[in-house]
Structure 1
Amino acid sequence: MQPRIPPTLVIAVAIVGISLVTLGGVMLPALWYELATRRDPARIAFAVIAMGGVLVLYGRLLWQNLMRRTHALHRVGLVVVTVLSCALPGALGDTWVTSLIAPAGLIPLVLPLRQAIVVTAAGTLGISGYGLLLGFHVLTVVFEFFWFPFAALSGFVSIWMFHVVQELREARAELARAAVGEERQRFARDLHDVLGHSLQAVALRAEVAERYLDRDQARVRKELTEIQRMARDSVRDVREVVRGYRATSLRAELEGASAVLRAAGIGCEPPEMLPDLPPHVHQPLGWVAREAVTNVLRHSAATRCRIEVGATADGVRLEIVNDGAGRRAAGEGGSGLVGLSERIAAAGGEFTAGHLGDGTFRVTATVPQKGP
């Protein structure tokens, strides 16, 4: 079962919360030592103020940069966090040595990558020298030397992964909009091809009828009859375009759907098609494929989508199953699936769509071999 990707805001809150809990956790033993052992009110007050300032600034800077609200003053905030982090062990002793790691996670967030690398290297050497200057044990200094760049790398990976997920989500939404836009363009092209020629022919016939209006009544009646026939044919063609009958191929629909899904990063292979499918199954099953794939792109966090076409005792069966569906499945209860059910029923078939309970969503449509 594939986990559903939560909304971007939830991921950001989780990153900030986990980072603050981790940072507070490594500093909390030192604060507890001040409270339980030394019991100096002045030291405790200084420790609480400095530690609180570090956590508040860290959380704010992390949140702002996750939301891409960068500002030049963030560098000032990084400097303040660094000063407070260095002041704690400098004033209170080596029990606060872990606070020196606090600025590391902010460096790749606040600074450009090249500057962050240089500052991280300088910071690694700086805290090592600072630890030796304060008389810390050599093993403590070695620990800080390796932990500081690791913390900086962790901060970089966290924000990089967050922005990658955000960009992938936006790309998926854009692909869904592109799929809808492509369908609109296809409809517009078909409508133009049908009406453009027909209306031009009607206009020419009308001009001929006008030309012979005073000279040849028989010719005028003939032209008017032809105009009526062409108008009826145009109405029929427009209805075919609207209903999707014109040049509809289930194979083309499924190949296009699988290509769109793969472009969105969703694993999907074109299904094996049955030979000699009856013409009447292409239109209703083609609509099912379009709507189901659009729902996968819009409403799910799918990584895999399986499309199968097969023959049953009841007719031709199309099944589309995707993972990444939440409790309320992709498109469930919407007008799209209701419309598909009505289309398949009109074709004499059966339609089902629903959540399977294991994070997957299945759409199944069956159309009889013989037309209604």
Structure 2
Amino acid sequence: MTDSHDRSDSADESRGSRPGAVAPPGCVPHLPAPRIARTVLITALLGHALLTATSVLASGGSPAAEATGLVLLPALLALQLLHCAPSGNRAPLKRRCLTLALQALLAYLPFMVFQVLWATMAGYLAASLLLLLPHRAAWPLYAAVGLSVLVPALLQGRGLLHSVHLTQTTLLTGLVLYGLAHLTGLITHLHTTRGELARQAVTGERLRFARDLHDLLGFSLSAITLKTELVHQLIETQPARAMKEIDEVLAIAGQSLTDVRKAASGYRALSLQQEIRAAQSMLHAAGVQVRAEGEPGALSPHLDTALAATLREAVTNLLRHSNAAHCRISVARQDGAVRLLVENDGVDPAYHNPAPHSGNGLGNLRTRMTAIGGRLESGIGKDGTFRLVAEAPVRKPSENSAEPRDFMVPRNGSAA
């Protein structure tokens, strides 16, 4: 049932029809911040290209030279946009070197005609080197591009200060374009990460809700089924006791509704002491002799809830998957830890649950115990008795919870 809901929910999310669904990473560039950053980057590139275009038109050269310059500018702009793309530095190295070589030709060959008027295009090349190459090679080449503008300026007879100014402008253009492109990539990555974190939070909440429903309804529905069968047997011979059992069925149903509402609201606390009493009543109604030992005492809410859920699942599985005649429930506190033990006989070693979605109970319990730094152990002893042991520290550790030990999870007895 849970898997079918997961599939339907996933389909709704992929179509964007589920309210509050997180947009997939592919939609991130359409969010405001990445779009604004990309617009700023493209505007800066177009601005520098426009400055070069006006310089070419004002150079006083021949119409053929001006036309050639205006044709080369879009090609350089297209290469620069390709290099500034977030995926540009993930292209194969051979492809990156090829596009950089092409950009270098388009950046330096027009120098013979336009000289320093074409210097802005060298700034494009400097930015591309920083974006596409490893830093160890990129920064020396970046400096070389800046110094390369100094030579034509000096040969053209410009003063040293003016030549240094052109070099500084080229380097600054490359640095600004590199920063804008890098910042655009970081903003896009940030929004992608935020989307993934939101998706993980939604998935975690759905898993929590599914786990809580399994723990809640598995026990309650088993109890209602068992007591209803008992009422059916007693209604003719012992009507007074049948009425008492009906009252308990109604109480269980009401409590189940309350628990489901609490689970949906994100908060649900269980009591181990109450679960022990409920287990005794339920097992007695099923004709199982129960022996309860020890008192849990005062426990923190997270530990009380985890142990109560463990006992609830153990009793549910005992009734579903075994023909038990005796059951022992023991609670002990020792060395700063509390230990819950559930033992029962009547285990069928050949039992296997054919239900397609069975087997989540012990996994859920392991998750709960791991979250509070505890452990869960289950298995069949040499005498054929099934034993489930849950142990956790009385206080929740401030450090990361200890990893649970791996134990054999049988496909029979009380295992779900």
- Give the TM-score, by structure 2 length: 0.47
Pairs within 5 Å for 1:1-372: 6=32, 8-9=34-35, 11-25=37-51, 27-34=52-59, 37-38=60-61, 40-62=62-84, 64-65=85-86, 70-71=91-92, 72-129=94-151, 131-132=153-154, 136-202=158-224, 205=227, 221=242, 225=246, 228-238=249-259, 240-241=261-262, 244=265, 247=268
Where 2:109 maps in the other structure, the secondary structure is helix
Q: Percent of aligned pairs with the same residue?
A: 23
Uncovered stretches (5+) of structure 1, i.e. residues with no partner: 249-372
Q: Residues 92 and 149 (structure 1 numbering): CA distance in 2 closer, same or farther, change over 3 Å? A: closer
Alpha-carbon distance between aligned partners in 1 of 2:122 and 2:88, rounded to the nearest angstrom: 26
CA positional deviation for 1:149? 2.9
Distance 1:197 1:244 in 2: 20
Post-superposition offset of 1:158: 0.9
**Counterpart amino acid of residue 38 in structure 2:** A
Residues 220 and 256, structure 2, Cα contact 8 Å, conserved in 1: no
2:119 touches 2:170 (CA, 8 Å); kept in 1? no
Within 1, Cα distance between the matches of 2:243 and 2:100? 87
Partner Cα separation in structure 2 for residue 129 and residue 236 of structure 1:
83
| Greater relative contact order, per chain length (Cα 8 Å cut-off, separation 6+) | 1
Match of 1:314 in 2: none
2 CA distance for matches of 1:163 and 1:94?
31
What RMSD in Å do the two structures reach over aligned CA positions? 3.9
Which amino acid in 2 is paired with 1:33?
A: A
- Report the AA paired with residue 70 of structure 1: A
Change (3 A) 1:169 1:68: farther
Inter-partner Cα distance in structure 1 for 2:121 and 2:267: 70
Larger Rg: 2
Q: Would the alpha carbon gap of residues 167 and 102 (structure 1) be closer, same or farther in structure 2, given more than 3 Å must change? A: closer
TM-score normalised according to structure 1 size: 0.51
Q: Distance in 1 between matches of 2:106 and 2:199?
A: 49
Report the alpha carbon displacement of residue 217 of structure 1 after superposing the two structures with TM.
5.6
1:131, distance to aligned residue in structure 2 (A) = 4.4
Distance in 2 (alpha carbons) for counterparts of 1:65 and 1:173: 17
The list of structure 1 runs, each at least 4 consecutive aligned residues, that deviate by more than 6 angstroms after superposition, is 66-69, 206-210
Deviation at residue 120 of structure 1 after TM alignment: 0.9
Asked if the contact 1:85/1:100 (under 8 Å) is kept, the reply is yes
2:394 — aligned with what? none
Secondary structure at the aligned position of 1:172 is classed as helix
User: In structure 2, how many angstroms separate the alpha carbons of the residues matched to 1:19 and 1:141?
Assistant: 23
Distance 1:246 1:139 in 2: 72
Number of residue pairs matched by the alignment: 238
* Deviation digits for residues 26-49 of structure 1 (CA, Å, limit 9, x no counterpart): x13431223xx34x2333233333
Counterpart of 2:361 in structure 1 is none
